[in-house]
A and B are shown apart, each in its own frame.
Chain A
């Protein structure tokens, strides 16, 4: 068992690295700063005795040259791709500066699509392969706040939907799992007043790890977000347009 975790250095990605390592997965960790990846790799290999590799790579880079080769050289039996990296800017209301727009779209959508494409050929053939995506409840209904982030997440969600269909048609054993995540206690929400309860990233990580191997087109995590988002989604426009949420 092995996994490539994109966005492994903090928050949910780090919690997933820990939970997969505990389960005996060999890991390839990716994030932008090796000052975080190196200690994490040392810790997980000492505690769980797994094979672990890491690479500092900024997802804003246009070049992905050699990544596939490096990952597969390290983990030839790679069977899980977890696209966890995300970036959100709570101040992002209204029209954004072009650079901010590009950053939100690249990290939350473009990089995801490109990384899937890079590893899809390999994963399609893997018995027990999984592609996992971290979406957001923010993408359940378009609203004025956090628009580019939500739209990018929704874009990637859509790509996962197409992917699932493609894998089904190709009769591939590879599975996809897409999560619309609710609030987690990570840097993304640190210091913010939240409308609903947040969960520890370790709780989300445990659920995601347990669900590997399942076919999950879309699932709220925690699941009670389904009720909240169903209510929000079903609010008639004359009411919704007045809500600043």
Chain B
């Protein structure tokens, strides 16, 4: 079917052929031509990772079944088209959960594997790949491959974080953790500057299970960078009853209905008011800050609401208007934060345009291939898609080069290949080499992989 596919940031759009097989015969027995292919999950990536010019996008959403669960050994096996929300709804009543998950229930497990996503606790539990025990991969030239640490670990490593370029993930076995309760106790801890936010996040990693900050970089007054750190802890069942005042014991029933897709779908044509303009962005952020810091007391929130904060706030993405926005996400080495901020703040002040959203997350992990992983702090900025902001992000790339920063390839639609080569260095070359060894014909291609010259 001819479809116009659009990235979440609306920076990239392409007319492509979209296929949506709903039975294995149509996926596995089909004589896929020699043309380029790419798997597609929910299509909620910020970048054009699941489509490209003259590439057939293969929608995997019908392959979304739960295949096996071993509560004792702590794993679940699912088809890769299942959404995090479906999985959450299944696991939570069984007092289990996926420790690492990104912030929207409509996202598929396949998408999480391919972009090796993170959640709010990677400083403890790592990124998505850390919970993968095995993958069943389909590639038209190789057939079905079973990948695990014991079997073809190199292809497994290439696939987790491989941007869908090794083939279509059919099934995956994931670690699940025991859930102490389906509610968390949350605090918003105010901070007065960006530097304080970084320091607070660093300080709180030992005390809390889930952590991220929100900062206001829309104003250029002395309050620039103020905001709050959202810190959450799991409770035991008794804690839920006694301290949080939730109506029910687990909070499971409070989980918002998992439909999400249409509300966020960037391909859907709908009215998108341009509210994040230079004039409105400041008062909007001011109100958001006031709401976030209004009540500093600890409160109980259902885990679903906490893990998926964008539910009910999908309008955020629309408020950039038809041109959309750009997100840049940078992993800054912990020891270089102070020096980084010394250069970053003047750069931003010089630029003089508001940032719509700023968040900080703590990371602890290892760098490998093209994964957004390592130790330090993830620093995210969303800006409106305008020429001045593109120039600012270009200057930021230069600054990042100076401090050994890693940019998230899955978030930034304009990131030039030169910057990526420089930042990822040997990881980039090794990924490219291994991918070519595995798939000399390079069957799986997307706009993203073309931009990155993979």
Bound CA span A135–B342, Å: 70
Given A46-B68, A190-B1, A10 and B24 contact (CB-CB distance below 8 Å): no
- The answer to whether B66 touches A46 (Cβ under 8 A) is yes
Residues of the A chain whose Cβ atoms lie less than 8 Å from the Cβ of B28: 35
Bound CA span A186–B26, Å: 13
Q: Which residue of B lies closest to A36 (CB)?
A: B23
Q: Which residue of B lies closest to A192 (CB)?
A: B1
- Binary per-residue interface labels of chain B (41-67) against chain A in the complex, 1 for a CB within 8 Å, 0 otherwise: 000000000000000000000110111
Residues of the B chain whose Cβ atoms lie less than 8 Å from the Cβ of A36: 23-25
Closest-CB distance, B76 to chain A (whole angstroms): 9
- The answer to whether B22 touches A39 (Cβ under 8 A) is no
- The answer to whether B79 touches A39 (Cβ under 8 A) is yes
Bound CA span A127–B20, Å: 41
Interface size on B, residues (CB 8 A): 18
Q: Which residue of A lies closest to B90 (CB)?
A: A47
- The answer to whether A43 touches B67 (Cβ under 8 A) is yes
Q: Which residue of B lies closest to A33 (CB)?
A: B25
- The answer to whether A187 touches B66 (Cβ under 8 A) is no
Closest-CB distance, B25 to chain A (whole angstroms): 6
Bound CA span A33–B1, Å: 24
Given A47-B90, A190-B1, A191-B1, A42 and B65 contact (CB-CB distance below 8 Å): yes
- The answer to whether A42 touches B68 (Cβ under 8 A) is yes
Could you tell me the dominant secondary structure of chain A's interface residues?
helix
Q: Which residue of A lies closest to B64 (CB)?
A: A43
Q: Which residue of B lies closest to A186 (CB)?
A: B22
Given A39-B79, A190-B1, A191-B1, A46 and B69 contact (CB-CB distance below 8 Å): yes
- Binary per-residue interface labels of chain A (22-48) against chain B in the complex, 1 for a CB within 8 Å, 0 otherwise: 000000000001011001101100110
Residues of the A chain whose Cβ atoms lie less than 8 Å from the Cβ of B68: 42, 46
* CB of A177 closer than 8 Å to a CB of B: no
Residues of the B chain whose Cβ atoms lie less than 8 Å from the Cβ of A40: 65
- The answer to whether A10 touches B67 (Cβ under 8 A) is no
Residue of B24, B25, B66 near A43 (CB, 8 A) is B66
Given A39-B79, A47-B90, A190-B1, A33 and B65 contact (CB-CB distance below 8 Å): no
- Binary per-residue interface labels of chain A (1-22) against chain B in the complex, 1 for a CB within 8 Å, 0 otherwise: 0000000011100000000000
Residue of A43, A46, A187, A191 near B22 (CB, 8 A) is A187
Q: Which residue of A lies closest to B69 (CB)?
A: A46
Q: Which residue of A lies closest to B94 (CB)?
A: A46
Bound CA span A190–B1, Å: 7
Bound CA span A40–B63, Å: 10
- The answer to whether A33 touches B67 (Cβ under 8 A) is no
Closest-CB distance, B207 to chain A (whole angstroms): 36
Bound CA span A47–B65, Å: 10
Residues of the B chain whose Cβ atoms lie less than 8 Å from the Cβ of A46: 66-69, 90
- The answer to whether B65 touches A9 (Cβ under 8 A) is no
- The answer to whether B66 touches A11 (Cβ under 8 A) is no
- The answer to whether A9 touches B23 (Cβ under 8 A) is yes
- The answer to whether A10 touches B90 (Cβ under 8 A) is no
Q: Which residue of A lies closest to B170 (CB)?
A: A39
Given A47-B90, A191-B1, A35 and B67 contact (CB-CB distance below 8 Å): no
- The answer to whether B24 touches A33 (Cβ under 8 A) is yes
Residues of the A chain whose Cβ atoms lie less than 8 Å from the Cβ of B90: 46-47
- The answer to whether A33 touches B69 (Cβ under 8 A) is no
Residues of the B chain whose Cβ atoms lie less than 8 Å from the Cβ of A187: 22-23, 26
Residues of the B chain whose Cβ atoms lie less than 8 Å from the Cβ of A47: 66, 90
- The answer to whether A39 touches B67 (Cβ under 8 A) is yes
Bound CA span A175–B24, Å: 35
Residues of the B chain whose Cβ atoms lie less than 8 Å from the Cβ of A186: 22
Closest-CB distance, B286 to chain A (whole angstroms): 41
Residue of A9, A35, A42, A190 near B66 (CB, 8 A) is A42
- The answer to whether B65 touches A39 (Cβ under 8 A) is yes
- The answer to whether B25 touches A35 (Cβ under 8 A) is yes
Q: Which residue of A lies closest to B62 (CB)?
A: A10
Bound CA span A117–B79, Å: 37
Bound CA span A17–B66, Å: 15
Residues of the A chain whose Cβ atoms lie less than 8 Å from the Cβ of B62: 10
Q: 3 closest A-B pairs (Cβ-Cβ)?
A: A191-B1, A43-B65, A35-B24
Interface on A for B, CB 8 Å cutoff?
9-11, 33, 35-36, 39-40, 42-43, 46-47, 186-187, 190-191
Besides A9-B23, A43-B67, 10 other CB < 8 A contacts?
A10-B62, A11-B22, A33-B23, A35-B24, A35-B28, A36-B23, A36-B25, A42-B65, A187-B22, A191-B2
Could you list 24 examples of A-B contacts with CB < 8 Å? A10-B22, A10-B23, A33-B23, A33-B24, A33-B25, A35-B23, A35-B24, A35-B25, A36-B23, A36-B24, A36-B25, A39-B63, A40-B65, A42-B65, A42-B68, A43-B65, A43-B66, A43-B67, A46-B68, A46-B90, A187-B22, A190-B20, A191-B1, A191-B2
